[in-house]
A and B are shown apart, each in its own frame.
Chain A
Amino acid sequence: SAVISQKPSRDICQRGTSLTIQCQVDSQVTMMFWYRQQPGQSLTLIATANQGSEATYESGFVIDKFPISRPNLTFSTLTVSNMSPEDSSIYLCSVEGQGSTDTQYFGPGTRLTVL
């Protein structure tokens, strides 16, 4: 399985500011994803990070609020823009395993608190 790291592991931010979260994988992967987990809730897919093209967003998530970059096959960033307290969540990236039937492996997550 892939080894995935995320930076930062946690942050406390002021409303109206933006935070960029980095996701690094130790091997090249085709599919990378970003999820959000609000307090006490399950995971919700934000978008699929596509290498070389714009990310594919799920219903309810827009590029202006959650811009995503995917410059290569091992790295992606998610920015949470113009934050409000409702953005306080854990943000997780995941990758699809090589040669598997869509098994996904998750990073440790970034815990964001917006004041």
Chain B
Amino acid sequence: DAKTTQPPSMDCAEGRAANLPCNHSTISGNEYVYWYRQIHSQGPQYIIHGLKNNETNEMASLIITEDRKSSTLILPHATLRDTAVYYCIAESGYSTLTFGKGTMLLVSP
């Protein structure tokens, strides 16, 4: 699995877009980019994943650069309930996830 690098923390004002970056410069062609988040004292929650194309669902958008060496998770209108640790994972599909330290996103009023 490719190593990912994320900033340890980020702040965002409520109602604004939260853009969480992830670097995965050693990603291989068959590895997907997954995003999960963990709200305090809860199990991780799947957000979105992608291979090459940008993806959007009801929770977020995932923008993957053309060279696939980095990606950005976008929460279009952050709320206080989006305060959580966000994990970016590059995974080849052998069914195991390797969690790094993630980014602690603090959404403030």
- Which of chain B's residues has its CB closest to A6's CB? B43
Q: Which of B31-59 contact A (CB under 8 A)?
A: 32, 34, 41-46, 49
Known: A101-B49, A102-B91, A103-B46. A42 touches B96 (CB 8 A): no
Q: Which of B91-107 contact A (CB under 8 A)?
A: 91, 93-102
Chain-B contact segment, one of A14-22, A79-87, A106-114: A106-114
Q: Which of B1-52 contact A (CB under 8 A)?
A: 32, 34, 41-46, 49
Q: Is the interface of A mostly helix, strand, loop or mixed?
A: strand
Whether the pair A42, B102 counts as a contact (CB closer than 8 A) is: yes
Q: Cβ of A94: which chain B residues have Cβ within 8 Å of it? A: 43-44
Asked if A1 CB lies within 8 Å of chain B CBs, one says yes
Q: Cβ of B99: which chain A residues have Cβ within 8 Å of it? A: 42-44
Which A residues lie at the B interface, using CB under 8 A? 1, 4, 31, 33, 42-45, 48, 92, 94, 96-97, 101-109, 111
Whether the pair A101, B32 counts as a contact (CB closer than 8 A) is: yes
Q: Is the interface of B mostly helix, strand, loop or mixed?
A: loop
Q: How far is the CB of B75 from chain A (nearest CB, A)?
A: 19
Q: How far is the CB of B1 from chain A (nearest CB, A)?
A: 11
Whether the pair A103, B95 counts as a contact (CB closer than 8 A) is: no
Known: A42-B100, A42-B102, A101-B32. A1 touches B46 (CB 8 A): yes
Whether the pair A102, B93 counts as a contact (CB closer than 8 A) is: yes
Q: Cβ of A1: which chain B residues have Cβ within 8 Å of it? A: 46
Taking A103-B49, A106-B45 as known contacts, 7 extra A-B pairs with beta carbons closer than 8 A to each other, sorted by chain A number, are A4-B43, A42-B99, A43-B97, A48-B96, A102-B94, A103-B34, A111-B41
CA distance A94 to B95 in the complex (A): 11
